[in-house]
């Protein structure tokens, strides 16, 4: 099925970012650029609705990837049961990115799975001739005002952005950046929404070329 697409774009920057590679184990290391699902999450943090799907297309790196060692006291559910009972944390060592800036691009299309819409979403969909266009207009309005439904983060929740909003004239794509090859990159783990079953999906043989990472197009829009 051919859908009319409505492009949306934004810029985001921050002091620290972590796009975790699942293969890096208990000393996590970041990918050099945001994952597909992370970009989708950033757009949906500003505006989300069940009547549309946000399809990330590409990310432009406006700063070269710089890695840095990071240590934090971990108190999450992955601790040993004894440590959880005693309230003991442990030091988690990670390799993160510093001084990041990205330009993000996505397309918005109508969600074809209308049967699963909540009642209010179905009512809104019946009243709206173009859900994608409506989303696009509301997204840019909220972006310019700095509004979001959820706190944006650059991967880990403690890594909040120093800026998010429309493109700034002072930022430029790192077009002279050497090619960075990514053999495998996590695309997402909940392919039909957060209530669906866990299913890790990967993209392979990716490359950041002239500062641009393009996400492969898939037929299932996920």
Q: What is the mean pLDDT of the segment spanning 185-206?
A: 84
Residue 194 has pLDDT above 70, yes or no: no
pLDDT in tens, 12-65: 999 999 999 999 988 899 999 999 999 999 999 999 877 788 999 999 999 999
Share the mean pLDDT of the chain. Answer: 88
Residue found by looking up tokens 């209010």 in the block:
120
Architecture of domain 6-214: 2-Layer Sandwich (3.30)
Q: Using the structure block, give the residue that is written with the tokens 């988690």.
A: 92
This prediction's pTM:
0.88
Most confident of the following: 27-41, 61-75, 86-100? 27-41
The pLDDT of residue 114 is above 70: no
Helix (H, G, I), strand (E, B) or coil at 121: helix
Judge whether residue 189 has pLDDT over 70. yes
Residue 213 burial (C-beta neighbours within 10 Å; 0-12, 13-18, 19+): buried
181, exposed or middle or buried, with CB in 10 Å at 0-12, 13-18, 19+? Answer: exposed
pLDDT at 113 > cutoff 80: no
What pLDDT, on a 0 to 100 scale, did the predictor assign at position 126? 63
Q: What are the domain boundaries of the chain?
A: 6-214
Check residue 162 and give its pLDDT: 97
Higher pLDDT, 198 or 8: 8
Place of tokens 């700095």: 146
């Amino acid at each position: 099925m051919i859908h009319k697409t409505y492009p949306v774009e934004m810029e985001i920057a921050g002091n620290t970012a972590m796009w975790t590679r699942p293969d890096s184990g208990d000393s996590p290391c970041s990918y050099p650029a945001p994952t597909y699902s992370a970009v989708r999450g950033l757009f949906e943090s500003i505006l989300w609705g069940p009547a549309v799907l946000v399809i990330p297309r590409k990310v432009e790196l406006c700063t070269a990837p710089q890695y840095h060692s990071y240590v934090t006291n971990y108190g999450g559910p992955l601790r040993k049961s004894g440590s959880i009972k005693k309230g003991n944390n442990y030091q988690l060592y990670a390799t993160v990115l510093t001084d990041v800036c990205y330009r993000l691009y996505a397309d918005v299309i109508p969600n074809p799975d209308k049967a699963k819409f909540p009642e209010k979403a179905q009512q809104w969909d019946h009243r709206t001739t173009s859900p994608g266009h409506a989303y696009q207009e509301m997204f840019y309005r909220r972006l310019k005002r700095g509004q979001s439904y959820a706190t944006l983060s650059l991967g880990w929740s403690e890594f909040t952005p120093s800026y998010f909003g429309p493109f700034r004239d002072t930022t430029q794509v790192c077009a002279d950046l050497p090619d960075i090859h990514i053999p495998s990159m996590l695309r997402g783990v909940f392919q039909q929404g957060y209530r669906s079953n866990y299913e890790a999906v990967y993209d392979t043989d990716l490359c950041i070329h002239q500062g641009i990472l393009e996400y492969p197009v898939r037929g299932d829009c996920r």
